[in-house]
Amino acid sequence: MRADIIDGKAFAASLRRRIAAAVPGFVAKAGRAPGLAVVLVGEDPASAVYVRSKGKATREAGMESIEHRLPATARQEELLDLIESLNRDEHVDGILVQLPLPPHMDEAAVIAAISPAKDVDGFHVVNAGRLAVGQPGFVPCTPLGCIMLLKDRLGDLSGLEAVVIGRSNIVGKPMAQLLLAENCTVTIAHSRTRDLAGVVRRADIVVAAVGRPEMVKGDWLKPGATVIDVGINRVAGEAGKSRLVGDVDFAEAEAVAGAITPVPGGVGPMTIAVLLRNTLVAAHRRSGFAAPADL
């Protein structure tokens, strides 16, 4: 069997078109465009690339992109003051502080400073708590994008065995919460898990969010499983160039899985599309308008 490729890039493009189509309706009612503020601290080249592509996608959707850069040496107080001014700015609906932050900053304290109503990353404890208890809030973009791909592929997920590898606050834990909310039987695996291959072999759905290039092997998978590869790992490629690989050994997995997301072109593009979706939803909620239902 050869797995179907789940085209996250195409799905993300269609989501972005639906978002762009809904923006003029908001502008007509509110008299302004939805605004997303992205804050980059330091010069990490990978982060700078992401921030640029987020800004471009935001403008292409007809929204306002507000970009702030602070030097790597900035004091945490300066960042907290900036977040406070963005919290107060009526034109800012969403605030994203690009992670990771320089080591002298306390990420939890910085995230806590963002107004939960503008936390389009869904990283604030209030939004994490809402997700855990099933109240409406903001859900982290990457796991929400993964759920959209899974439901598009499989329809109802009820009763399926799902294994999430990774338990970070930004991917693994919210991913597990979302799968639970879809009535999956959820196992969360991590670096202390015994017999990881044996655990993964039970899964109808495997979500790999580890950060270890090509760790998940083909013979770890149940034949026909649906594999969502969140990993983004830059490794040495040919002729001194680097290339991106996921946490799943794609060549091996493709021969066993029923369907699999590629890297690049899978989960990554979904993350940005869902960020725009969350920003549009935040704009509607903050203005007291019902958010478009089909996003």
Ligand X SMILES: Nc1nc(=O)c2c([nH]1)NC[C@@H]1CN(c3ccc(C(=O)N[C@@H](CCC(=O)O)C(=O)O)cc3)C=[N+]21
Tokens at residue 123, please? 């990283």
151 catalytic, yes or no? no
CA distance 203 to 222: 7
Q: Which is nearer to ligand X, 66 or 96 (CB)?
A: 96
Crossing angle of helices 267-287 and 45-60, in 10° steps, is 50
Instruction: Identify which of residues 121 and 254 has a Cβ nearer to ligand X in the complex.
Output: 121
Q: Could you say whether residue 120 binds ligand X (CB under 6 A)?
A: no
Q: Does 171 bind ligand NDP (CB under 6 A)?
A: yes
User: Does residue 96 bind ligand X (CB under 6 A)?
Assistant: yes
Q: How far is the CB of 101 from ligand NDP (least distance, A)?
A: 13
- From the list 129-137, 150-158, 226-234, 274-282, the region that binds ligand NDP by CB under 6 A is 226-234
- Is 98 one of the catalytic residues? yes
Cα 195 to its chain centre, rounded Å, is 28
Nearer to ligand NDP, 58 or 142 (CB): 142
Residue 87 or 168: which CB sits closer to ligand NDP? 168
Residues in the interface with ligand X (CB under 6 A) total: 16
Q: Residue 233's beta-bridge partner residues?
A: 245
Could you tell me the two tokens for 268?
A: 């990554």
**Residue 232 annotated as binding?**
yes
Residue 99 binds which entry of ligand NDP, ligand X, none, CB below 5-8 Å type-dependent: ligand X
Question: For residue 91, what are the CA distances in angstroms to 24, 27, 75, 161?
Answer: 16, 12, 26, 43
Give which of ligand X, ligand NDP, none residue 137 binds (C-beta under 5 to 8 Å, depending on kind): none
Residue of the chain from 11, 26, 50, 220 that contacts ligand X (CB under 6 A): 50
Burial of 180 (0-12, 13-18, 19+ CB in 10 A): middle
As given in the structure block, the two tokens for residue 283 are: 């704009």
76 has catalytic annotation? no
**Applying CB under 6 A, which of residues 65, 226, 271, 279 lies at the interface with ligand X?**
271
How far is the C-alpha of 125 from the C-alpha of 109, rounded, in Å? 11
- Residue 75 labeled ligand binder: no
Binding span for ligand X by CB under 6 A among 59-67, 68-76, 91-99, 203-211: 91-99
Q: Of 128-136, 214-222, 257-265, 281-289, which segment contacts ligand X by CB under 6 A? A: 257-265
25 among annotated binding-site residues: no
Q: Give contact residues for ligand NDP (rule: CB under 6 A).
A: 142, 165-168, 170-172, 189-193, 196, 209-212, 230-233, 267-268, 271
**What residues form the annotated binding site?**
166-168, 232
Q: Which residues are catalytic?
A: 54, 98, 121
Binding site for ligand X (CB under 6 A): 50, 96-99, 121, 141, 232, 244, 263-265, 268-269, 271-272
- Which positions make up the binding site for NADP(+)? 166-168, 232
